[in-house]
Structure 1
Amino acid sequence: MSHVQGMTLAYNYCLGEGLELGASLHNSFHLPNCPNLSPSDGTAYLYERDLLDYQHYQAGYINYSNSEMAPVDLIGDFQNIPKADISLDYLVSSHVIEHEPNLFAAFIESDRVLKNFGVFFCIFPKRHATPGDGVRRLTTLQEMIDAHENELGMLDMPPESWRGHYQLLSLQSMLRAVNYLNQQHLGSWLIETVEETDSKVGNGHTIVLRKYEKLAESRWPDDESFAQAFFSAWESDRLGEALAMLKISLSFNFFDPVKLHLAGHLSRQLGYTDEAIEFLRQALIIEPENEEFRREFFEWSGIIYSNPVL
């Protein structure tokens, strides 16, 4: 559900001192006191090519929205955030991260500037959101790994595709990337919630992550020890604790339909209705013929489930 101005989900998670990457006036989050970071402001720039890119984009933007571009407060991008270490409560962006050639570097830089428990709130486009992308294949996890190992940056990009859609992602491929980052100790990203279709405009996916420095040490060594701790918390009515356990486990392997189903039930019991439906939707993406999941999805949402990935 969208906020009257902005996006309800962003208002729930983007609290404190934050920064938006690539803000736009025609599609604002309307978050209070949230500066805008961009590669150029029409005068200053991160790379010389960004100035030309800004001027080209400015002309198209005025024709498209009949308004001015959003004021730029800081010069930078997802690989160059001019903020001190552990200084921000949140980062927020919409349709920006796909323009970074090195996805893992963007996450590592975001980790650097966020405080512990800080939020990474990101909307990125569906593969059919932009003409031409629909016929392209998704960026593979191995390509993301190679870009990171080769320290790929903007100066390695050809000028004819400057700041293009270097990443083509599904929600599931992004979640696999987050799982990999956590497994390889390249990040400590707790998966808070997702939206298969973003509740802001509806042409992208949403992922909400929280930096949790103790994520790795909070992981259970095996399924048996996890189950004992989880059901002890649930049976003792410590529902918030039980849900947190599931989120920790899913942050290392999101593609467990049983845990996604349980996360849906706990979220619903705790009053997080939209989050509950999204967890259940992800369980159904993995097990689309699970009739119990389908029945519950209809009961919770009033909508007959259809697979959004196909």
Structure 2
Amino acid sequence: MFRTHGMNLAYKYCVGEGLELGASIHNSFYLSNCPNLSPSDGTSYLFERDLLDYQRYQANYIDHSGGEMAPVDLIGDFQNIPKPDASLDYLVSSHVIEHDPNTFAAFIESDRVLKNFGVFFCIFPKRIAAQEDRFRRLTTLEEMIAAHDSKLGMSDMPPETWRDHYQVFSLQSMIRVVNHLNQQRLGKWLIECVEETDSKVGNGHTIVLRKYDQLAESRWPDDESFARDFFGAWEAGRPGEALAMLKISLSFNFFDPVKLHLAGHLAKQIGDTSEAIEFLRQALIIEPENEAFRKEFFEWSGAVYANPVL
């Protein structure tokens, strides 16, 4: 049976006591102290339909791979995580959040169970990863707001589409969700880093978020005060502090090519070259004809920039 390797980015950010939502043996993260949460284990279930769903998936999985299913430690899903408030150091999820009909509720539940500074490490599929999604439009922010306002949950879903891909995301549309949650104080998500193409399997996007209870209070009231504090830290030789300031600002408005470019330079300065390249890539997505950015991208990555947005 084919098994993937681990993921360096996950090893960096997923430290301590964690939980994985929807783990699979063939795509393991190999994280210690990280039990698996699933809607059913073949005997117990969250919704009755989940038991049938598990049994069908299990039969198909064994037929095609000849392997075993990942053991299930806890019964639940993105809206029902059976853990106390502020009890986990990290949550990790790969190709699961698109199966939840209420994206905002998934983020809010994740916020609930994470400690302050805890990490939400999320990979979700590119829109061309699944054949059935390739010609579907992206789920709009307005649709996700409406699902949250109506308290949409799995009990509202018809059996014929049970735990299907309810959402289709790009990396940029997911970042807009995070920006909106933070702006509306529905979330406290510091954007640590992103991957346009995940470094796990390569058919998804990665977003790494850190719950930061003081995020809203840390936001600068205007550009002038931000610039004063940011350049003060940079000129004083504190690149880590300056980068943290940029990440706070980008967590409310990620689509600022100047700040993304600066974040790239600071990440590179402190030795996070792969994360630096991703910040620069996002700046180029916004300004694809910026020749200075393109030259730096080639110098840093050894590759000519090509727009990755699908």
TM range (shorter): over 0.9
**Aligned partners of 2:5 and 2:200 also within 8 Å:** no
Alignment of 1:111-260 (within 5 A): 111-260=111-260
Superposed CA offset, 1:263-283 (max 9, x none):
000000000000000000000
> Hey, what's the Cα distance between the residues in 2 that align with 1:230 and 1:254?
16
Q: CA RMSD for the aligned pairs?
A: 0.7
Query: What's the CA shift for 1:178?
Result: 0.1
> Hey, what's the Cα distance between the residues in 2 that align with 1:235 and 1:34?
41
Matching residue's letter, 2:138? L
> Hey, what's the Cα distance between the residues in 1 that align with 2:159 and 2:262?
48
**Aligned partners of 1:138 and 1:170 also within 8 Å:** yes
SS at the partner of 1:205? Answer: strand
Query: What's the CA shift for 1:62?
Result: 1.1
> Hey, what's the Cα distance between the residues in 2 that align with 1:269 and 1:26?
36
Query: What's the CA shift for 1:5?
Result: 3.6
**Aligned partners of 1:44 and 1:51 also within 8 Å:** yes
> Hey, what's the Cα distance between the residues in 2 that align with 1:65 and 1:118?
35
Query: What's the CA shift for 1:63?
Result: 2.1
> Hey, what's the Cα distance between the residues in 2 that align with 1:50 and 1:151?
20
> Hey, what's the Cα distance between the residues in 2 that align with 1:172 and 1:60?
33
| Identity, % of aligned positions | 80
Could you list the runs of 4 or more consecutive aligned residues of structure 1 that deviate by over 4 angstroms after TM superposition?
none
Query: What's the CA shift for 1:141?
Result: 0.2
Count of residue correspondences: 307
> Hey, what's the Cα distance between the residues in 1 that align with 2:268 and 2:301?
11
SS at the partner of 2:309? Answer: coil
Query: What's the CA shift for 1:60?
Result: 1.2
SS at the partner of 2:90? Answer: strand
**Aligned partners of 1:198 and 1:205 also within 8 Å:** yes
Any unmatched runs of 5+ in structure 2? none
**Aligned partners of 2:5 and 2:27 also within 8 Å:** no
Any unmatched runs of 5+ in structure 1? none
**Aligned partners of 1:26 and 1:65 also within 8 Å:** no
> Hey, what's the Cα distance between the residues in 2 that align with 1:59 and 1:138?
31
> Hey, what's the Cα distance between the residues in 1 that align with 2:60 and 2:31?
25
Superposed CA offset, 1:210-232 (max 9, x none):
00000000000011110010000
TM-score under structure 2 length normalisation:
0.98
Query: What's the CA shift for 1:64?
Result: 2.5
